[in-house]
Structure 1
């Protein structure tokens, strides 16, 4: 077979006066490709149909089901590869640290780690960096304008000052996150 007529009529189970749609689909497979040549939807009662009254028909699935009985279409020829040279820009790299900068950073980290370890060993607890008076921290923040600058001023890690800022905000001070 190379042509099909499919009629879809819903069974409303006796719902009188309900708007029903009659759908007719004509499909042609004679060319080796499955194509819908006609799709008609009409109201059974002669009135109109609301969009919700249209039948939920998966036309793609319907056409694929009919394509199984048609001979498979010929595959299109594979194009020959074209050799083109694409020149990609070189990847962007971060500037490398010099050996002196690396050594200085490493020494700074090691010294801070040793100081923290010594403080913890002497007291038996983790080193705790006390927050200076709130007004002192706020004054430095007003002068510098950033949490990082406050951390540098008090020579503490930035996350420590971030904790101080949370505490100060809970006390009603305007610091960070503006």
Structure 2
């Protein structure tokens, strides 16, 4: 049973193990904070960029990322709970790369003011998302399914970034 591994016996009482979820949430929160430190959609540089008509308003990004980050943390916490020691090490490495690429995009796109560098980072993030989904699915297929909206949004962000880079060849 999937949920049985989440429960451990201690002194005859069953309890839910929250540590994997807390660890995953801390890692995701740290990456989100690092990325958001570089993000400035109000900067003159960003406002002057040509953007496609289909770009969502700035407030939509925060509204989208919050539940996506929550599902990412839940998914990794759940997979970690199901994994054996060898899989946990691999899962931690794959997550670290994924979160690093996620945070790096903001620094490359906004701080470095380079849509092209941001596009390279988000393309790598998409590949990392596939790797993360595969790794998580080995531990828990339901947790891997929960990562699909995150991967889909990142793919949308890649398309948006690509169009911005195309519309602004000198940026």
Instruction: Report the TM-score, using the length of structure 1 for normalisation.
Output: 0.23
Q: Which has the higher contact order (CA 8 A, sep 6+)?
A: 2
Structure with bigger gyration radius: 1
Which structure features the higher share of strand residues? 1
Which structure features the higher share of helix residues? 2
